[in-house]
Amino acid sequence: MRILIVDNHILFREGLASLLVSQPDFEVVGEAGSVTEAIEKALDLKPDLVLFDIALPDGSGLDMLNTIYLKDPQVKFILLTMQESDDLLFAAIRAGATGYLLKTTPITKILAALRAVERGEAAISRAMTSRILDEFKQLDPTQATNPNSLSTLTTREIEVLGHLGMGASNLEIAKSLVITENTVKVHIHNILNKLNLRNRREAGRFARRHGLGNSFTGRYPTDL
């Protein structure tokens, strides 16, 4: 996997790069210390993944993400930061980040997260995933983004829809909500009918478009 590292601390960048290149399946194609430099290198070097921090000298890492993603939507992004913030977590997810990791994460788990992303899974710690699910559980359908459609769903259906937005399987949804897989299937059937959607993939896209899910297209990682 071809990786671009974006961080304004050169020692951190170099240290992380040296660890990544020691792995046979990773190639660090470049490093950048600013939004401008990151955009230029991403468009030139065509990385598979951009590993970035939020605070950069000339702007936000999310601004960088938005610009690169518009030009190359195949690139994946993982936010690697010291900031453990719910607001930042949700902002990164809404912007399209593939994962959210803290810099205090052990390197073995960072490597596992990168490989999870390569497999199409989500790179997010269990603690941060719990915060996302807690947010879903607090959603009131009458206060949803699109009252003409989301208001037709029950609270439980919104919870299930949020999980679909994160790419969860029926089994994962069942375990998280402590219900049976058959019950999950019933909820999904009702969601599709109420929202006039054809399948769970469309439901996942709908969830992300309305802020109920993120851009993860795989499964929750089990070892982060």
* Contact (Cβ atoms closer than 8 angstroms) between residue 50 and residue 68: yes
CA 54 distance to own-chain centroid: 14
The better pLDDT of the pair 168, 185 is held by 185
Within a 13 Å sphere around the CA of 192, how many CA atoms are in the beta-carbon half? 13
Q: What's the CA gap between 188 and 191, in Å, rounded?
A: 5
Highest mean pLDDT among 37-46, 74-83, 94-103, 140-149: 37-46
Identify the pLDDT of residue 176.
85
The better pLDDT of the pair 154, 1 is held by 1
Q: At 216, is the pLDDT very low, low, confident or very high (cuts 50, 70, 90)?
A: very low
* Contact (Cβ atoms closer than 8 angstroms) between residue 32 and residue 6: yes
Tell me: the pLDDT tens digits for 21-37? 999 999 999 999 999 99
CA-to-CA separations, 88 to 63, 84, 126, 179, in angstroms, rounded: 13, 8, 16, 30
Identify the pLDDT of residue 25.
95
Tell me: the pLDDT tens digits for 61-98? 998 998 998 888 889 999 999 988 777 887 887 777 88
DSSP state of 33: S
Q: In what order do the strands lie in the sheet with 99-102?
A: 27-32, 2-6, 49-52, 76-81, 99-102, 123-124
Domains present along the chain, CATH in parentheses: 2-124 (3.40.50.2300), 131-209 (1.10.10.10)
Identify the pLDDT of residue 134.
64
Check the CA dihedral 202-176-144-147 and report its sign: positive
Q: Which structure tokens are listed for 19?
A: 């660890």
Q: At 218, is the pLDDT very low, low, confident or very high (cuts 50, 70, 90)?
A: very low
Is the pLDDT confidence value at 202 over 90? Answer: no
Identify the pLDDT of residue 117.
86
Q: Which structure tokens are listed for 127?
A: 């603690």
80 - beta bridge partners? Answer: 101
Identify the pLDDT of residue 144.
44
Q: What's the CA gap between 51 and 35, in Å, rounded?
A: 13
Q: At 118, is the pLDDT very low, low, confident or very high (cuts 50, 70, 90)?
A: confident
* Contact (Cβ atoms closer than 8 angstroms) between residue 163 and residue 191: no
Q: Which residues contact 122 (CB under 8 A, 6 or more apart)?
A: 98, 99, 116, 129, 166, 167, 214, 216, 218, 219, 220, 221
Q: What is the three-class DSSP state of 101?
A: strand
The better pLDDT of the pair 126, 105 is held by 105
Identify the pLDDT of residue 127.
65
Q: Which structure tokens are listed for 45?
A: 């070097």
The better pLDDT of the pair 129, 198 is held by 198
Is the pLDDT confidence value at 140 over 60? Answer: no
